[in-house]
Amino acid sequence: MVIVVGGMIGLGKTSVSEIISEELNSQVFYESVDDNPILPLFYSSSDEEIKMNRYPFLLQLYFLNKRFESIKKAFVHKNNILDRSIYEDWYFCKKNMELGRISELEMSIYESLLNNMMEELRFFPKKSPDIFIYLKGSFDTVLKRITSRGREYELDKKLVSYYKHIWEGYDDWMYNVYDKSDVLTIDMDRMDVVNNETDRKELLKLVKDRLNVTSGSFI
């Protein structure tokens, strides 16, 4: 069984993945953040530097490569959780194209590479996740969570409009474009699964009920 945990930047994908992993005795394939050489440049560079060095396109290619590595492993071995996934990468790439940070030509190259990768999955024991756990929250919650986790390169005030642009289209992509699996929405405006034991138990109950898991591990 494969679970994807996704949603807007800052809403707690890694924390939720770890909570579910511990309860269901599964492995997490983490998003490449701390060891990502492009991410700090993507967030901290000026508009001129971004245009000159094409950091958004390079970042999306970097993530695409890492996600494909993860999904290949997750779809071969049993009981895995993907901390974000290859499916959301297209959405981020599209939103950056809308902002002019990725060109139409770059988007075309990206989509061609993505489609080739997805074709390879037809040879794997699994073809898609069993469930996508979508972490949903208001924009105020997103900003509070980004601030509280304190990654310096994410805190520049000029990034607020970028975050807003990504946030504004997420529900539409999730509910009207994504079609690879069932979706379980978790309301992060009212749940604090890290600091509140009751919320953590509710999260696990929602996930287990949706997956029809009755014991402490995957069926």
What pLDDT digit, counting tens, does each position of 89-112 carry? 999 999 999 999 999 999 999 999
Domain that holds residue 62: 2-211
Query: Is 91 within the bounds of a domain?
Result: yes
CA angle 141, 147, 151 (to 5 degrees): 135
**Which band of pLDDT confidence, cut at 50, 70 and 90, is reported for residue 219?**
very low
pLDDT for position 215? 52
Does residue 218 belong to any structural domain of this protein? no
> For the whole model, what pTM was predicted?
0.87
Nearest in space to 28 (alpha carbons), one of 85, 82, 71, 65: 82
pLDDT tens-digit series, residues 108-158? 999 999 999 888 877 776 778 889 999 999 999 999 988 887 676 777 778
CATH number, residue 40: 3.40.50.300
Residues in the chain: 219
CB 110 within 8 A of CB 64: yes
Q: What angle do CA 41, 97, 47 make, to 5 degrees?
A: 40
Report the C-alpha gap between 5 and 25 in whole angstroms: 16
171 catalytic residue (yes or no): no
Minimal CA–CA distance to 130: which of 201, 13, 212, 72?
Answer: 212
One of 34, 47, 83, 89 is an active-site residue; which one? 83
Token representation of residue 7? 């949603």
The tally of domains found in the chain comes to 1
Q: Is residue 115 part of a domain?
A: yes
